[in-house]
Amino acid sequence: MALIDLSRREIHCKIVYYGPGRCGKTTNLIYIYNAMGDKTRGKMLTIETKGDRTLFFDLLPLNLGKVKGFDIRIQLYTVPGQTIYEATRKLVLKGVDGIVFVADSLKVRQTKNKESLEDLKKNLQAYALDIMEIPVILQYNKRDLVNSPIPTLTIDELQQDLNQELQTTYFEAAAVKGIGVFETLKEISKRTVRYVAQKHLLGK
Amino acid sequence: MSDLVLTAPILEETRQHIEKQLVEAGVHTVLLIDEAGNVIASSGRDLDKLDTTALAALAAANFGATAQIAKLIGEDDFSLLFHKGKRDSIHFSKVGDKFILVTVFGDDVSLGLVRLRVAEVAKTIEKVFGIEKV
């Protein structure tokens, strides 16, 4: 749940990067961390197991400047993608305000993408959140591999697998190279802040 | 989740209770956070040196993780956690259903005193916030 501090005029929102294991959620955060100046970014926190896998979560706080006199502070979280860490994923989703679903373009990961989206829906339900209501956008990652010999999924296939019901915006990305990373962040931040403001400030 | 509105006077009152009961007893830092890891109020002397955002996120996650351990042994959750360090230690205590009081203190303050004062502060905060357990 967003925190709105009226005395300090700050809005804190929580955005979670969700998706199957090894799809590039942490890579997104690392790219953002490296590309942003010291003034806007906070310290990045990661808890990982051996072999680069996220164990609990990564956290990157950002300061996005002022909107109508309110300081917008965003906390980006990632979840561990591997199926066995379901309990952890659910914990990280507590109080979420916006979600980026990162999908893997590799053909071998097709089922994992779909499973992870189902898992997301289920975990949101546990907090009485509806995936159709909360801001969610899709990022089709690893598009730089399309022209390589590795079999990848087409945008149509990804859309059919993941976006039929959601009908939300998607971005093509290559997080390692930073392609699409900021486009994704900008869009989800915009939607999340609007959602939070409408729900808690304007609605009353 | 229903919205909880805390006005500036309520927060100020909370901060004063924390200052009086805990900071004056010698603890370094006190954070009041919610279960999602947001800092609601902070007090103490080492605040600028401490990464409170990360501490709050990890404290909330830590509580969530131990709640799962609690479930494995047939408990709902653990209402307090304590981690002992060589010099400094940290004490976490649930306040109402949604908040956690995080207290960092050195070896010059006894754990018993911290536990006593934290319990008192927690009760006061529940009253001030209007979230008293029935």
Compare CB distances from B1 to A1, A6, A88 and report the shortest one's residue: A1
* Residue range B91-120: mean pLDDT, rounded: 95
Mean pLDDT of B56-66: 87
Q: Which domains does chain B have, with CATH numbers?
A: 8-128 (3.30.450.30)
- Regions of chain A short of the pLDDT cut 50: none
Q: pLDDT value at position B2? A: 58
**pLDDT above 70 for B82:** yes
Find chain B residues with C-beta within 8 A of A96's C-beta: 36
Q: Does B34 touch chain A (CB under 8 A)?
A: yes
Structural domains in chain A, CATH included, are 3-198 (3.40.50.300)
Residue A59 with chain B: CB contacts under 8 Å: 53-54, 57
**Closest by Cα among A73, A61, A66 to A12:** A73
ipTM: 0.72
Q: Does an H or E element contain B110, and which? A: none
Min CA distance, A153 vs chain B (Å)? 35
Among chain A residues, the shortest Cα distance to B4 is held by A3
B35, B51, B68 ranked by CB distance to A94: nearest: B35
* A142 and chain B in contact, CB less than 8 A: no
Identify the pLDDT of residue A127.
93
- Give long-range contacts, CB 8 A cutoff, 24+ apart: B118-122: B118/B22, B118/B80, B118/B91, B118/B93, B119/B93, B120/B21, B121/B17, B121/B18, B121/B21, B121/B22, B122/B93, B122/B94, B122/B95
| Cα A3 from Cα B42, distance rounded (Å) | 15
B38 in contact with A, Cβ within 8 Å: yes
In sequence order, what are the residues at sequence separation of 6 or more whose Cβ sits closer than 8 angstroms to the Cβ of residue B105? B26, B27, B28, B88, B89, B90, B91, B114
The predicted model scores a pTM of 0.86
Q: Which contacts of A147-156 are long-range, i.e. CB under 8 A and separated by 24 or more positions? A: A150/A106, A150/A107, A151/A106, A151/A107, A151/A108, A152/A105, A152/A106, A152/A107, A153/A105, A153/A106, A153/A107, A153/A110
